[in-house]
Amino acid sequence: MHLKFIMFLLLGAAMSLRVQARTLVIGNSAEPQSLDPHHTESVVDFRIQRDLFEGLVVHDDSGGIIPGQAESWVVSNDAKTYIFKIRSNARWSNGDPVTAQDFVYSWRRLASPKTASPYAWYLEAAMVVHAAEITRGEMTSDKLGVKAVDDQTLQVDLTSPLPYFIKMLTMMNMVPLHKRTVERWGKDWTLPENLIGNGAYILKQWVVNEKVGVAKNQLYWNKVSTHIENVVFLPVTGVGELNRYKAGEIHLTQSVPVEYVAQLRKERSDEFKSTSSFGTVFITLNTRHPKVQDVRVRRALSYAISREALADKIIAQGNLPAYTLTPPVMQGFQLPTIDYREQRLPERIEQSERLLKQAGYSESNPLRIELVFRARDSAKKMAVAVSQMWKKIGVQTQLISVETGDYSARRCSGAFQALVSIWLADYNEASTMLNILTSGHSSNHGHYVSGIYDQLIIRSRLEQNEEARNRLYGSAEQQLSEDMPIIPLYHNTRVVLVHPNLGGYPLNDPQSTVYSRNFYWKNAL
């Protein structure tokens, strides 16, 4: 073979390898439900959306707040009005300037009942003027307390001061949307050929149940700090994800199978990353279902579970046992006294048996309950352990493993008795956890209703003193331990595998907010 031809082939192969090396491949658990920021509530979707869209502010690598599309902001003396300056070089991926009007359009769309967003409640929680009335259908969305003073000046009015308002703006539902694109294409506006974003990447492909691919946005205001050219998200998890990582097909996993944690922690110590996370795994009890309508039954089920055994022996990823919905590492949160936490497990089991007997259950008439969980190895292992703990108090458990789509449908429709759930914080403040159990909240899937609890949360939003506000949060957690609409199990720890040549993983961010633009290759590939 001619030498020049051989050199040509070798050069071509080398170029091909370099092109492939510029592509970061990320395991992302499941197929995204939607890339519309107003129609999603899953971290699977948010992770991709963070590459495609950017809000007023974003997280730094320690979880702090830094400017995003807004280069600066000022707050009025009464802390009820925020004025944001949009960057003059902020651009949509088609070249249009990002304006204050884009945020107004997007937030009004989020609040509108016509959108039916699962996060419509978020604007009310953020205390934006008239958000509550709009989401209830009592006012039109143009009355929302947000307006464009001019193209680069956005004004947001709150009903009362909210000390953590800026933190709430990092959520994906608060990003701007390109009005002309959304209205022209309708439900198809998020297809690769239609989507216009303002993030560090643009959507290039979406092959259902196979992959989502994005490419560097050359019009992004901070493209100079975006190092990775292409990113691919794969809907894989568990052992399948691990095997593809070991084969070099994935550079960053979404998780690590529970049964491999100890082995990988030892064998791949440089690649194994374990960080605290603002999240809690719990069992949602459907308070409308006859099986768990009785608070005595709910308490019995909760008291019988050894959180320590689940965290230390079953999951074994460094998780903390949970007796509250709010993780103790949440900023300012002070762990309240939870009575049953102070009891020894044998005492709690005796109490569980007494409560079930009082509720009418016995050896001849046992409580039979269904526990629904996602079809994942760790969830199954945990659900089996819980069923064995319930068996000790005479409860017969039917374990129901379902795929993500069926799980979401059951959760939203209330077609369950007990459901393994997880809530990951939207921002670093206890309200992000406790809001979801207020009456009528779209994420209150167990239909818990408590006037006392609701009032505690309302009062916390109006309380400006952080110490006093956290005391209210503590009282809210104590109320949950009395009513037991959920059974806290353990506080989440994020465990992933990171390719040894990949830098930029946020080890110091408890929210584990991953932006692909922050990754880089340590050495040339």
Tens of pLDDT, residue by residue over 83-107, are 999 999 999 999 999 999 999 999 9
pLDDT at residue 61 in the model: 86
Strands 368-374 and 70-75: unpaired
Q: Give percent of the chain with pLDDT exceeding 70.
A: 95
- Asked if residues 143 and 153 have their Cβ atoms less than 8 Å apart, the reply is no
The pLDDT value given to residue 399: 97
Q: How confident is the model at residue 510 (pLDDT cuts 50, 70, 90)?
A: confident
Top CATH class of 280-492 equals: alpha beta
Q: How confident is the model at residue 361, as a pLDDT?
A: 97
DSSP-assigned states of every residue in 406-460: HHHHHHHHT--SEEEEEEE-SSSSTHHHHGGGSTT-TT-TT----HHHHHHHHHH
Asked whether the beta carbons of 302 and 484 are under 8 A apart, the reply is yes
Inform me whether the pLDDT recorded for 8 exceeds 80: no
Query: According to the model, what pLDDT value does residue 378 have?
Result: 76
pLDDT over 90 percentage in the chain: 81
- Mean pLDDT of all residues in 342-357: 96
* DSSP bridge pairs for 211: 207
Q: Could you tell me if 174 and 168 are in contact, meaning their C-beta atoms sit under 8 angstroms apart? A: yes
How much is the pLDDT for 513? 86
pLDDT at 524: 66
d(CA 17, CA 347): 62
Assess if CATH 3.40.50.620 describes domain 22-31+187-274+495-521. no
- Contacts of 479 by beta carbon, 8 Å cutoff, 6+ apart: 450, 452, 453, 456
Average pLDDT of the segment spanning 127-145? 97
Residue written as token pair 């497990």: 345
Q: What pLDDT score does 5 carry? A: 38
Domains in the chain: boundaries: 22-31+187-274+495-521, 54-178, 280-492
What is the arithmetic mean of pLDDT over 140-146? 98
User: Residue 1 pLDDT > 60, yes or no?
Assistant: no
Give the residue carrying structure tokens 């309200």: 431
Cα distance between residue 433 and residue 76, in whole Å: 28
pLDDT tens per residue across span 372-410:
999 876 788 899 999 999 999 999 999 999 988 889 899
pLDDT of residue 16: 36
Residues in contact with 343: Cβ distance below 8 Å, sequence separation at least 6, in sequence order: 303, 351
Element at 328 (helix H, strand E): none
Pick the CATH number of 54-178 from 3.20.20.480, 3.90.76.10, 3.40.50.2000, 3.40.190.290: 3.90.76.10
Residue 343: both structure tokens together? 């009891």
18 falls in which pLDDT band (50, 70, 90)?
very low
Distance CA 220, CA 149 (A): 24
CA atoms of 46 and 179, how far apart (whole Å): 20
Beta bridge partners of 128: 158
Mean pLDDT across 487-494: 93
Over the stretch 322-343, which tens digit does the pLDDT of each residue have?
Answer: 999 999 988 889 889 999 999 9
In sequence order, what are the beta bridge partners of 252?
26, 498
DSSP state of 98: P
Q: Write the pLDDT tens digit of every residue in 215-242.
A: 999 999 999 999 999 999 999 988 999 9
**Residue-level pLDDT at 22:** 77
pLDDT tens-digit profile of 178-213? 999 999 999 999 999 999 999 999 999 999 999 999
Strands 230-234 and 211-216: antiparallel
What would the mean pLDDT of 314-321 be, rounded to a whole number? Answer: 88
| Dist. CA 218–CA 154, nearest whole Å | 25
Q: How many helices (H) and strands (E) does the chain have?
A: 17, 18
The residue-averaged pLDDT of 284-301 equals 97
How many residues make up the chain in this entry? Answer: 525
Which one of 309-318, 360-369, 422-431, 499-508 scores highest in mean pLDDT?
360-369
Residue 168 in this model has a pLDDT that exceeds 50: yes
474-502 mean pLDDT = 96
Helices 466-483 and 451-462, packing angle to 10 deg: 170
Output the average pLDDT for the chain. 92
- In degrees, rounded to 5, the angle at the alpha carbon of residue 188 between the alpha carbons of residues 130 and 55 is 45
CA atoms within 13 A on the CB side of 434: 31
In the Cβ-directed half-sphere of 502, how many Cα atoms lie within 13 Å?
28
